[in-house]
């Protein structure tokens, strides 16, 4: 069996999620033609990097990207660093001949996203962007149902991505509220997921009309960058200007004629991680909510006087990612629910198969550029106060 030796850059939220996936995928996907080997964790703060390596199961820690990229015992570089580092690290990894797995968004600008895509294509390496929600079994089932024509011609897409963790004015100036690092706020952090799902499930977007708002203009500064995710500022800390959006709403027209709406915010009280979409077509509708991620709601217009939304339990063995090739459950028996972490395990499983077969998987960096193009159109629309065409990738 082929081994794919991994070098991971970053050790916070996504670093933990990716590390867990590498550890778990051999247990749930024993049939894969390649399996990951956790080789090296890379971070810039020595004490925290070593601690994370020990906790997550990485046998070695390094503190320089240069050192990571020049190692001959690394086949794939996994990038979970803050957003403004993604494109540069992709380019450098590709130029070093490493396969690339990058967290979303691919970049903080369309120009940089295009450069990253060009680099991996020129190098001929395998590349993948981590939009893990595609691989929730219920979402992959929705894709299969749409492709099979079960809801007919798509008329409407509507998406909500709602959180409330940023509502307190005392939440400090972590990197996610700084444009130079994050690129944008809820637009790139949350709505990027909704855009990726829309592009995958419905099709390419032609134009958008978007509005954004920053509700809390200033926040207390943190002492150091490394305490950024969820840290607390000291009493009496100086204030910094928030220059990203807290909430965003957008209208969209798809190239196939469908109409779409998007809303994303980190100021929706009571919503912890509500990633919701509904698709209406000529023969039926589909609904999904990540907070009930094992369920897919389906409405069939042909059911006559017993018509109505019904819940599909998406943990049947026959549903995507749920069954072993020889039959039987891959994870747990039906309705023994899956969690957020399994979307990453499924993603890594597909990535390992792609590396073994030397075939670029989906979503890849071209998909990342498509999402970035829609994000850029949204930003343009919000600044100019009018509809904006989505740029060509």
Residues 378-393 pLDDT 10s: 999 999 999 999 999 8
Q: What is the mean pLDDT of the chain?
A: 95
Q: What is the reported pLDDT for 227?
A: 39
Distance in angstroms (rounded) separating the CA atoms of residues 89 and 70: 13
Cis status, amide bond into 97, omega within 30 of 0: no
39: nearest Cα among 81, 3, 89, 82: 3
Q: Is the pLDDT of residue 1 over 60?
A: yes
Distance in angstroms (rounded) separating the CA atoms of residues 95 and 226: 28
Q: What is the reported pLDDT for 175?
A: 87
**Confidence class for position 228, pLDDT limits 50, 70, 90:** very low
Q: Is the pLDDT of residue 229 over 90?
A: no
Q: Is the pLDDT of residue 225 over 90?
A: no
Q: Is the pLDDT of residue 321 over 80?
A: yes
Scan for tokens 């629910």, then name that residue. 337
220: nearest Cα among 164, 265, 174: 174
Buried b (16+ CB within 10 A) or exposed e, 308-330: eeeebebbeeebbbbeeeeeeeb
Q: What is the reported pLDDT for 226?
A: 43
Q: Is the pLDDT of residue 168 over 70?
A: yes
352: nearest Cα among 87, 59, 21, 61: 21
Strands (E), the chain: 2-9, 34-42, 61-62, 76-79, 99-103, 127-130, 154-162, 205-213, 218-220, 239-241, 247-254, 259-265, 274-281, 284-289, 295-300, 310-313, 388-389
Query: In this structure, what DSSP letter does residue 317 have?
Result: T
Helix, strand, coil % (nearest 5) of the chain? 35, 25, 35
Q: Is the pLDDT of residue 286 over 50?
A: yes
Q: Which domains does the chain have, with CATH numbers?
A: 2-133 (3.40.50.720), 137-292+294-334+372-384 (3.30.360.10)
């Amino acid at each position: 069996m082929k081994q794919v030796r991994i070098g991971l850059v970053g050790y916070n939220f996504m670093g933990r999620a990716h590390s867990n996936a590498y550890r778990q995928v051999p247990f749930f996907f024993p049939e894969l033609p390649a399996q990951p080997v956790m080789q090296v964790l890379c971070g810039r703060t020595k004490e925290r990097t070593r601690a994370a390596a020990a906790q997550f199961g990485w046998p070695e820690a390094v503190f320089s990207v240069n050192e990571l990229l020049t190692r001959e015992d690394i086949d794939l570089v996994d990038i979970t660093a803050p957003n403004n580092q993604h494109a540069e690290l992709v380019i450098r990894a590709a130029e070093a001949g490493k396969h690339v797995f990058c967290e979303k968004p691919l970049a903080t600008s369309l120009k940089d996203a295009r450069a990253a895509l060009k680099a991996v294509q020129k190098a001929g390496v395998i590349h993948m962007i981590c939009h893990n929600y595609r691989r929730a079994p219920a979402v992959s089932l929705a894709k299969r149902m749409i492709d099979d024509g079960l809801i007919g011609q798509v008329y409407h897409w509507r998406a909500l991505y709602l959180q409330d963790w940023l509502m307190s004015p005392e939440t400090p100036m972590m990197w996610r509220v700084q444009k130079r690092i994050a690129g944008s706020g809820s637009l790139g952090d949350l709505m990027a997921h909704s855009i990726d799902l829309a592009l995958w499930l419905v099709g390419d977007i032609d134009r958008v009309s978007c509005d954004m708002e920053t509700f809390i203009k200033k926040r207390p500064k943190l002492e150091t960058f490394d305490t950024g995710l969820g840290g607390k500022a000291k009493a009496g800390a100086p204030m910094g200007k928030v220059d990203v959006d807290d909430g965003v709403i957008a209208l969209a027209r798809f190239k196939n004629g469908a109409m779409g709406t998007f809303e994303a915010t980190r100021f929706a009280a009571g919503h912890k991680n509500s990633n919701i979409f509904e698709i209406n077509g000529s023969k039926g509708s589909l609904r999904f909510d990540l907070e009930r991620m094992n369920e897919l709601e389906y409405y069939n217009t042909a059911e006559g006087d017993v018509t109505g939304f019904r819940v599909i339990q998406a943990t049947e063995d026959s549903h995507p990612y749920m069954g072993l090739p020889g039959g039987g459950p891959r994870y747990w028996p039906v309705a023994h629910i899956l969690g957020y972490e399994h979307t990453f395990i499924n993603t890594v499983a597909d990535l390992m198969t792609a590396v073994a077969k030397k075939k670029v998987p989906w979503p890849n960096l071209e998909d990342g550029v498509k999402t970035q193009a829609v994000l850029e159109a949204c930003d343009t629309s919000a600044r100019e106060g009018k509809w904006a065409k989505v740029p060509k990738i």
